[in-house]
Amino acid sequence: MFRYYLKLSMLSIRANPALSLLMVAAIAIGIGACMSIVTVRYVMSDNPLAHKNDVLYHVRLDNWNPDDPYDEPNEPPEQVTYLDSTALHQAGQAFRQTISFKSSRVIQPEGEDAKPFQEELRATTADFFTMFDVPFEFGSAWDAAADQSEERVVVLSSEMNQRLFGSEDSVGRMMTMNKELYRVVGVLADWMPVPKVYDLNNNPYEKPENIYTPFSLAVSGEWGSSGNNSCWKPTGGGYEAYLASECIWIQMWVELENASEKGAYLQFLDDYVEEQKTLGRFPRELNNRLDSPAEWLVYQEVVDDMVGVLLSLAVLFLVVCLLNTIGLLLAKVMRRSNDISLRRALGASKSALFSQYITEAGIIGIAGGVAGIGMTWLGLRGIENAFSGYDYISYLVTMDWTMVLVAVALAIVSALAAALYPTWRACSVSPATTLRIQ
């Protein structure tokens, strides 16, 4: 029976090619508009550390101004001071802990003609790589001893390794930054967490840094932070005063052995702050926070407001396309009410007619869905083109299989939803009325 309905549907679709095409196109365009925005939002709100969500935590301590919270209502600062980050790292109370900040150096490649260039880097500690599942192509992270010894070692991204050493295994080789020699200990494989959970203070979608050096080395060399930096009271001049100040500029994360240790670590933080209070620091009430990657992504509002606006408009767009389809299907059904009457009079049951018209709508829905994937692809290329000034845009406009399936499912559901009312109208044509008029 289904094959018969299929045949009837194809006949009916072919009988009005322009109209059928318009319906398919409307669904496809609606799906395309909707799914391109959904895809961007899906990628933007991804949590690349979801598998560690119950053991990885971002650390916040409230060392802010007694008269004013860092952010309403009573949110502690987004980063920590040098004093606290180093003290907590030193204490080593978590299973793993890392502190880091963004800085920059001038790289001087070897060779007479090679031009020096400035490059952003991350000053961090050995655990950083394990905690954020950073993959290595050659070598490994520096060992924990280098965190203390201020040894001149670096880890390079595969891109930087390609640029400086032509992609070969450069472990053990030397490179020059600001006229000082550094030994390469590791080269990363391709690594692109989207968003860049470990540092959301700046642009959450930019690429990870291409160079990593020990934190202690950066501080002893008095490197400044090229990331965010906030102070709530004057610091006094000079790097020493800056390190001793209440300015926040360092990102701190801890990894616990299991989720049940969260309470204990929070207690440790509270004890630490209580102790600091006796030294006259931390004028505000106890307000320390541990945020999982998922919580941190939400708090930092990595998904731009405009995506929400576009998404609501795109959903309405799909609604217009569906109203369009409903109207056209309805017109089609009304026009055929003669056939329907006749079939009903000859004994076709309502459910038979229902199956037939739903089949027809389903075919249009599937066609619209398949074309809709194409439209989504076009839409994503359009978005990529409009934002081509952002070099990270290509990471946000990629469709994975989940999105393809969602697109098809949305198209079929939409087409069936659109078909429901016209089909119901078709079924309720009474056997006699239309025949009588003719």
Contact set with another protein (CB under 8 A):
18-19, 22, 26, 29, 33, 67-68, 105-106, 108, 115-118, 178-179, 233-238, 241, 305-306, 308-310, 312-314, 316-317, 319-321, 323-324, 326-328, 330-332, 334-335, 382-383, 386-387, 389-390, 421, 425, 438
Distance (Å, rounded) from C-alpha 99 to C-alpha 73? 26
Min dist CB 64 to another protein, Å, is 13
Min dist CB 147 to another protein, Å, is 25
Min dist CB 379 to another protein, Å, is 9
Min dist CB 356 to another protein, Å, is 20
Q: Which is nearer to another protein, 166 or 234 (CB)?
A: 234
Q: Which is nearer to another protein, 82 or 128 (CB)?
A: 82
Cβ-contact 86, 99 below 8 angstroms: yes
Min dist CB 434 to another protein, Å, is 11
Q: Which is nearer to another protein, 105 or 122 (CB)?
A: 105
| Terminal Cα distance for the chain, rounded | 30
Q: Which is nearer to another protein, 29 or 427 (CB)?
A: 29
Distance (Å, rounded) from C-alpha 102 to C-alpha 366? 49
Min dist CB 309 to another protein, Å, is 5
Distance (Å, rounded) from C-alpha 212 to C-alpha 251? 15
Q: Which is nearer to another protein, 153 or 310 (CB)?
A: 310
Distance (Å, rounded) from C-alpha 177 to C-alpha 163? 14
Q: Which is nearer to another protein, 116 or 362 (CB)?
A: 116
Min dist CB 150 to another protein, Å, is 18
Q: Which is nearer to another protein, 148 or 338 (CB)?
A: 338
**Cis amide leading into 66 (omega within 30):** no
How many CB atoms sit inside 10 A of residue 362's CB? 17
Cβ-contact 429, 344 below 8 angstroms: yes
Cβ-contact 55, 347 below 8 angstroms: no
Q: Which is nearer to another protein, 328 or 399 (CB)?
A: 328
Distance (Å, rounded) from C-alpha 127 to C-alpha 253? 10
Distance (Å, rounded) from C-alpha 365 to C-alpha 362? 5
Distance (Å, rounded) from C-alpha 340 to C-alpha 430? 9
Min dist CB 169 to another protein, Å, is 28
Cβ-contact 344, 60 below 8 angstroms: no
- Helices H, strands E: what count in the chain? 16, 10
